[in-house]
Chains A and B, each alone.
Chain A
Amino acid sequence: MAELTAKTPCAGLLPISAGRVTVTEVDPGPMTAIAPFKGKEKTLAGALDRAHGLGGPAPGQTRVKGHVRILWFGHAHALLVGVAPKPTLARHAALTDQGDAWAVVQVEGAEARDVLARLTPLDLRDAVFAVDATARTELAHMQAAITRVGAQAWQMMVFRSMATTLVHDLDAAMRGVAARR
């Protein structure tokens, strides 16, 4: 029997670059939303630690171990990225597959912060949004999750269906910033 073929959210749209900024699509691997059951926040943190070597993230923060990352993901949710959750976690939390729900891109470069300043009201200064900080916020007109993954690198997630708009808006902002030099 023939097989179904997989397509990434930004297939055919990325990479792009302008000035000193590049945008590439990220293959995050498995992504699972984790929402602790009532009163299970503490036991979940322990279970996460045993299962994947990292605890639950504080609001606005991520924890990283190797290629596995866990993001604070808004009210009552965390997002485990890079590994499928061990089934034991299901005793403490609702697990929901989100691996296909988001377009994930990395914006990187010397002027990346200037580009993001055109798209999001988030305060991106080092003291406020350090490496590994994360936020659910607005990006152009889209709701997004933005995580700082390096000194000049940010990962942004928007709904998969909005990938075209994400790239369109990034492209316009990047060209505007590049034109200033």
Chain B
Amino acid sequence: MRLASGGQIDRTQTIGFSFDGRQYEGFAGDTLASALVANRVRVVGRSFKYHRPRGVFTAGSEEPNALVTLGRAAAQDPNQRATMVELFEGLEARSQNRWPSLDFDLLALNDLAAPFLGAGFYYKTFMWPAAFWERLYEPFIRRAAGLGALSGKNNDAYHEKAFAHCDLLVIGAGPAGLMAALVAGRAGLDVILADEDSRPGGRLNAETIEVAGQPGADWAEDMVEALRAMDNVRIMTRTTVTGAYDGGTYGALERPAPDWAGHSDAPCACFWRIHAQRAILAAGALERPVAFRNNDRPGVMMAGALRAYVNRWAVSPGKAVTVFGNNDDAHRTVADLLAAGIHVAALIDSRPEATTDLPVRRYAGAQVTDAHGRGGLEAISIATMSGIDKIRTDCLAISGGWNPTLHLTCHTGRRPAWSPDLAAFVPCDGAVPGMITAGACAGDFSTHACLAAGVAAGKAVAKDLGKRARKTDLPRAEDAPYRIRPLWAVPGKGRAWLDFQNDVTVKDVKLAATENFTSVEHMKRYTTQGMAPDQGKNSNVNALAVLADATGRGIPETGTTTFRPPYVPVPIAAMGAGAQGKGFAPQRFTTSHAASVEMGAPMVEAGLWYRPGYFPRPGEKTWRQSCDREVGMVRQAVGVCDVSTLGKIDVQGPSAGAFLDMLYCNMFSTLKVGRTRYGLMLREDGHVMDDGTTARLGEDHFVMTTTTAAAGQVMKHMEFVHQALRPDLDVSFISVTEQWAQFAVAGPRSRELLNGLLDTPVDDDSFPFMGCGPVSVMGVQGRLFRISFSGEHAYEIAVPARFGDSLFRTLVARAEGMGGGAYGMEALNVLRIEKGFITHSEIHGRTTAFDIGMARMISAKKDCIGKAMAARPGLVSPGREQLVGLMPTGAVKQLTAGAHLFCLGEEAVRENDQGYITSVGFSPTLGHFLGLGFLKDGRARHGEEIRMVDHVRGVETTCKVVDPVVLDPEGGRARG
């Protein structure tokens, strides 16, 4: 219920929201959890395994119980902690893991079956028969156990990722973090102060503590104002630092603020990568519960959380509250409750020596042994010296002490150390390079100690980074000692919960120890303690203390499990933000893209490039019809194809020729200016890397072409060869792929077409086969290469890319007037298969120059990359698969790429494999399919009939082995 006054909420702003379909109201400044408490909603979820009713347990990101699903349809977002959800108008939240409803959950039957569902029950119960696991047991268990679920639909909601840089990252804006940021900021450092709360201040917002003579929350607000006024300090609220990584990199998740969360362009979350020279961890501490029978009843909550609800949000979860603790915070809680006018039924302090002046019924040296009330807490039993007492209460606040929030210090592999004084783990110094700790996360639990630690940390970092910190007055604050007597679990019968989120009890941990899962890591995996969204924030230390007790070891010997990033759940959508849909990879469009799309060409992806597959014309119903026509155009008239995507690398310098001799297996230094040569490039291991033509434009100037797919790889290879192997060579190179729009003009009428555009016509003398040189194209300076990938009389013409669109349209229009037109990738592929020209289908990384029949290209007159390794016996010996052409001969006239080859009469099994097919196409020129493939000793087997079996597609035929060059083997068409 809402208290009549107080709190850091804006009572003038009412906000409507719904939970499980019912409408409620809260105030600006409320979280979903505080608003539910205000509306007396006690049961907010069902537990993971036993489906027990659960209520709000904490007030922070460690919340194990109040997990809800937000949003609808594809955007439904499960397992959101109600304690971290800021209320906004129209918020829709639904409870999870219940059927048919939260109040009446059929699977609560699991709770009655609890004796059978202890730790490891899956492994013991569902063993036989083995086949039942996948089909029966697992689906059933998955349905019965669990938390919220995703929609299963594609969610295209916008997520964001971003980078930030600073000198100092301060993690946590409590008293320590605020002081550290102030000192470092005043010293002139670039500071980022990140806090996961919407309101900086940390515990000061939840307590009635005074700082510098004013209420802590007001002091924090003044501090934030002072920090905001500094240009070099950036405050990031709602931002949880989720991980500490190498090199001063921190991951952080930012949740949207309610005032812009609803905007259609606003991100659902932003994942930050913060690069910081130094970091100060001031993340505070998390209060831990005490395990006792039925301590998971709705109405049982953490004492620190209860103070936050009362002081910050002015709500009380109960009318008659009891408080149970093993440290002075229990007393602080009672004092705050009384001050807020809330009835306190009893204070139970497990320490026999505890005293209090508070006007309240109190029990010293007593322990709560049971909580009663199925749908919500109604009474508790307490064990005192004189026996068992029962007290009526609807809310029990518990405090088992505090665990420093040291998780980030363990993210790079270090373990924390045990402090017997604090009965808690504390971080080790220097655990993460560049990061220091300050305040409660380092074990300083008083406000004064936190403020002082913040100042010291800020000063230390400033000095470390060469700045001088100005004198900073330490504000006055309480400095109460931390007095605690450890209490992990109250002995007794029944189930006492350790891990609320995973339904792990004291019994489960003891059972694990009994069954010899005594290592803390084994116990964790056997019981599932410390998994799931909260990662055991509430339960880890208690569970290992119980384990230590059960195994007769101390806590330091038992140790903790490993804390790994992320500290809070991070949606994959946030980490991969921007990579959905078009953001997956850059799209590379040629200058002819728009024109090709206008012509109805479907695009195929080649690396990042989009290239037209074919150009359909009216009446053509299949791609094959278009492809056949386009092949015919090139063979009989003239075709135009954009080849700009091939890598083009400008190579210049006095040693350019020598450099190319090193890169290519054949000779380039002897190439005449104005001529082009085909080159084959080997990897260091002797296999083929790439191929292409290189033109010599001047004495010291070459232009190399690579395949589309390997352009980047070749460029990288060249940098390596030059920088690491031949730095003596005076050569430089740069990609000009994007500078030039380049089009293949192929076919018997290609020269006729070009001469209609060139300012000076060309002939066989000025541009013989493999000639190259500058030309003027309709007034624009371009380059012309007489090279052919189709076997026809062909050219490639290049102009600066700005003219690409215009030239493509002009070429296509003129070609169409001559009985030709544009051709796409499909036709290009068929044309080259007819000629036996290779692509990366053949030079796929496992083939050598010997395999593809180009062994003689490896020049004997010079060295080159890969030469020595290519000569290894295994790479040139008989029995290797060699490039061949294939024609179908059987009843089935189809060849398929990827099919394997077998000798006639032999079974089509791996042991009999003779080779495989790499490329196929229907040749309209010859009227049947053609294939390229690799066959054992293939060059000696031309004319042989062989069996093709495609096990995947279920296609089988016989085919004839032929020379790879089927069409015009003499090459007269290209030269003529």
Contact = CB atoms under 8 A, between A and B. Distances in A.
B801 A160 contact: yes
B859 interface: no
B162 A165 contact: no
B778 A4 contact: yes
A99 interface: yes
A111 B37 CA distance: 40
A159 B583 CA distance: 16
B590 A179 contact: no
Given A4-B807, A159-B738, A161-B590, A37 B266 contact: no
Contact of B734 (A96, A161, A175): A96
B332 to A, nearest CB: 38
A160 B267 contact: no
A125 B165 contact: yes
A18 B656 CA distance: 48
Contacts of A176: 158, 160, 265-267
Given A99-B800, A165-B582, A176-B158, A1 B739 contact: no
B190 A100 contact: no
Given A4-B807, A100-B802, A160 B738 contact: yes
B609 interface: yes
Interface residues of B, number: 57
A8 B160 CA distance: 30
Interface stretch (B295-303, B503-511, B548-556, B647-655): B647-655
Contact of B732 (A4, A37, A173): A37
A180 B591 CA distance: 37
Interface string B613-654: 000000000000000000000000000000000000010111
B273 A121 contact: yes
Given A98-B739, A117-B162, A172-B158, A4 B587 contact: no
Contact of A96 (B267, B273, B736, B778): B736
Interface residues of A, number: 57
Contacts of A128: 165
Interface string B584-614: 0111111100000000000000000100000
Interface string B182-194: 0000000010000
Contacts of B582: 165, 168
Nearest to A142: B586
Given A5-B806, A176-B265, A162 B586 contact: yes
B652 A96 contact: yes
Nearest to A74: B734
Contacts of A178: 265
Contacts of A117: 162-164
A100 B734 contact: no
Contacts of A175: 265
A33 B163 CA distance: 30
Interface string A28-47: 00000101111000000000
B99 interface: no
B805 interface: yes
Nearest to B728: A38
Contact of B802 (A7, A33, A124): A7
Nearest to A125: B165
B355 interface: no
B874 interface: no
B56 to A, nearest CB: 30
Nearest to B190: A125
Interface in A109-141: 117-118, 120-125, 127-128, 140-141
B778 A100 contact: no
Interface string A86-107: 0000000110111111100000
Nearest to A129: B165
A98 B740 CA distance: 9
A98 B654 CA distance: 21
B45 to A, nearest CB: 31
A100 B591 CA distance: 11
A75 B718 CA distance: 13
A143 to B, nearest CB: 9
A5 B654 contact: no
Contact of B739 (A76, A93, A101): A101
Interface in B756-812: 777-780, 799-807, 810
Contacts of A179: 260, 263-267
B804 to A, nearest CB: 8
Contacts of B683: none
A137 B451 CA distance: 41
A52 B583 CA distance: 41
A24 interface: no
A145 B804 CA distance: 24
B587 A180 contact: no
Given A118-B162, A141-B586, A172-B583, A7 B778 contact: no
Nearest to A103: B738
A63 interface: no
A118 B161 contact: yes
A96 B586 contact: no
A99 B781 CA distance: 13
B674 to A, nearest CB: 19
Contacts of A1: 778-779
Interface string A141-164: 110000000000000001111111
A181 B190 CA distance: 23
B260 to A, nearest CB: 5
A173 B732 CA distance: 37
B692 interface: no
B60 interface: no
Contacts of A121: 163, 273, 275
Contacts of A158: 586
Contacts of A33: 734
B578 A169 contact: yes
A163 B802 CA distance: 13
Interface of A: 1-9, 33, 35-38, 75-77, 93-94, 96-102, 117-118, 120-125, 127-128, 140-142, 158-165, 168-169, 172-173, 175-176, 178-181
6 contacts: A4-B803, A6-B802, A37-B653, A37-B732, A128-B165, A172-B583
Interface of B: 158, 160-165, 190, 257, 260, 263-267, 273, 275, 578, 582-583, 585-591, 609, 650, 652-654, 719, 723, 730, 732, 734-740, 777-780, 799-807, 810
Q: Top 9 nearest A-B pairs by Cβ distance?
A: A35-B732, A94-B652, A179-B266, A38-B730, A100-B801, A161-B588, A101-B738, A175-B265, A179-B265
Given A101-B739, A162-B588, 17 more contacts: A1-B778, A3-B778, A3-B779, A4-B807, A5-B806, A7-B591, A7-B802, A9-B801, A37-B730, A97-B736, A97-B739, A100-B801, A101-B737, A102-B738, A122-B163, A164-B587, A169-B578
